[in-house]
Chains A and B, each alone.
Chain A
């Protein structure tokens, strides 16, 4: 038994003095069994699809599933292109981190505006809801049309293509980050709004009655209570941005390539060996994504409201 669960047990014995919005209750054996049966179909499906897909990718990456010839087990696919692989990891992580950070700040601010019941809250809510429904491919094409050298924005502003900053295909991946941050901020805004619309509002009102200012309430009431939602939303956005192919392919540049673009190029390469290398790149992407999710859960366990 780890120190975490021991602490939790102690907290439960001391019960019911918890200040979390939803108190934890241990269910009966029957309830636990029913719960397990209810999630079983979803878990089985996820195991088959994710396990099968990742499993097949892993087999290819380690040379166990060649298109032609005998399986030649080994890790050669991982070490075949060290420079390109590390550059890809760097680009993918940077773009995903920056896009997620922007999305969290914009999304959380938008959520606070939405629940503030001011005149602008309805407009922000409508914008957020509409943005979520736009597919990423369409959004990427839209951002491309807007921000490319001869795009709508430079034309409206009367700036010549030569003087316009290289948003699309530029060294800072501007257009790709804008697209991911825009779409993901709407997603984060909606889920954070969902949390804020719960009884958290009563805590907020109580704090207001006790004389807390707007900034104090945000810092000491809203932020700690919505932190788990924000962290989960950020993790989902991050993992999405890390695995996104079409946005980075449409709005990105020739070199260095992000992980998914590198994987697809190698997979489509005429050399049959490159398929193993593509699988290796895909597996590295999976591991990074799983790592991000693991870190998220570790962080969640530290937040007070999770317990």
Chain B
């Protein structure tokens, strides 16, 4: 071996060792959270003063961004808390940031609150990424229904005080009434309608959030109703129920937009196709956005919400607090203010964000109840009680990756 080659090998080995050491330095386990750090709410309030809270949330919803910046941020500033919104394209980006910081052993994490639910919550809980048992401290929690199933379990994962409720959502299909005079009334009817009108329907490719919900709704429909699909995941149930689902979606695929050759990557791309009149139906877990999209002319003026007889799936979304947040008290104050009747009512205004409240409206004081009764109605989106008629709960979070993977293996590569 020539000296030059020898030197090169030595250099390569040095690089490899150095990078291994750098990486291993990050392997130290994060410190366990101090659960009884705050004795009462006053202790939280005093600790929160002067803290800056970074709220990581999906940034693709202009109304949501404006609500946080213009309504929630000034409200928490009264408690001496500075709220900074960090927009992410996918909630998993925030979760990945938390994981990466935990891997690196950082206990001064940059993520203080995450708008979250479902499989992301479960994955974080499995990895011990959430601070738990803190929501009991929040005075605003008294306004929520103690036995509300949507707030007890998040896609089948017990909430255990690891996240504070923020709003409720209802999966919604919308159609262009100009193109569809006689809309279907069940999800099976929607699939049949799509078969009969080639190229006018599609759905985002799982694991996109919206596409993933659609596949779960289709599972409920082909299985003979939401009650036929057990909430808890089991391989047996999966093996028994999914062949019919993959068959139906496979049958449907040639009749989709572009013949099912490709799918929109997310709800935004699906909405773009609907706005361009390339398809006649769209779907969203955030029907609040529909009002503004119709009003500004993006969506057809005749856009209507499709209320299905078999109901659609509903869920609640939450604010999660990572264990390694360096502004935990401030984050709790933000979660508490966000849950107050004033904020929940403001957020429910269609002009503001139109998100459904998580509070138990019947249990509110007359004065607080008045805030919700005075809410203006939307010309496009029916009120929550009509939208959530015959609604069913979400399946356990384990179903989500299983169905997403199954879809990619069984429907995509046709």
A and B are interacting partners: yes
A residues at B contact (CB < 8 Å): 1, 47-48, 51-52, 54-56, 58-59, 65, 67-68, 149-150, 161-162, 166, 169-171, 249, 253-255, 265, 267-272, 275
Contact B20 A59 (CB under 8 A): yes
A and B contact pairs by CB, cutoff 8 A, 28 listed: A1-B2, A47-B15, A51-B15, A52-B22, A55-B16, A56-B19, A59-B23, A65-B27, A67-B102, A68-B127, A150-B278, A161-B278, A166-B258, A169-B258, A249-B265, A253-B262, A254-B262, A254-B263, A255-B205, A255-B413, A265-B207, A268-B92, A269-B207, A270-B120, A270-B122, A271-B123, A272-B123, A275-B99
Interface residue tally on B, bucketed by range: 35 or more
Give the residue name and chain of the A residue nearest to B412 (CB): A255
- Which residues of A are found within 8 Å of B27, using beta-carbon distances? 65
Given known contacts A1-B2, A269-B207, A52 and B278 CB-to-CB distance under 8 angstroms: no
Contact A271 B99 (CB under 8 A): no
User: How far apart are B122's CB and chain A's nearest CB, in angstroms?
Assistant: 8
Q: Does B96 contact A (CB under 8 A)?
A: yes
CA distance A273 to B119 in the complex (A): 14
Contact B276 A150 (CB under 8 A): yes
The B interface, classified by DSSP as helix, strand, loop or mixed, is helix
Instruction: Give B272-315 as 1s and 0s: 1 = Cβ < 8 Å from A's Cβ atoms.
Output: 00001110000000000000000000000000000000000000
B residues at A contact (CB < 8 Å): 2, 15-16, 18-20, 22-24, 26-27, 90, 92-93, 96, 99, 102-103, 119-120, 122-123, 126-128, 199, 205, 207, 258, 261-263, 265, 276-278, 397, 400-401, 408, 412-413
Give the residue name and chain of the A residue nearest to B124 (CB): A270
- Which residues of B are found within 8 Å of A254, using beta-carbon distances? 205, 262-263, 265, 412
Give the residue name and chain of the B residue nearest to A47 (CB): B15
Nearest 4 CB-CB pairs, A to B?
A: A55-B19, A150-B276, A253-B262, A51-B19
CA distance A162 to B277 in the complex (A): 11
Given known contacts A52-B19, A67-B103, A255-B413, A271 and B276 CB-to-CB distance under 8 angstroms: no
- Which residues of B are found within 8 Å of A58, using beta-carbon distances? 19
CA distance A141 to B149 in the complex (A): 43
Give the residue name and chain of the A residue nearest to B278 (CB): A161
- Which residues of A are found within 8 Å of B128, using beta-carbon distances? 68
User: How far apart are B207's CB and chain A's nearest CB, in angstroms?
Assistant: 7
- Interface residue from B16, B103, B278 paired with A65 (Cβ < 8 Å): B103
User: How far apart are A40's CB and chain B's nearest CB, in angstroms?
Assistant: 13
CA distance A65 to B27 in the complex (A): 7
Given known contacts A254-B412, A255-B412, A169 and B278 CB-to-CB distance under 8 angstroms: no
CA distance A269 to B401 in the complex (A): 8
Give the residue name and chain of the A residue nearest to B263 (CB): A254
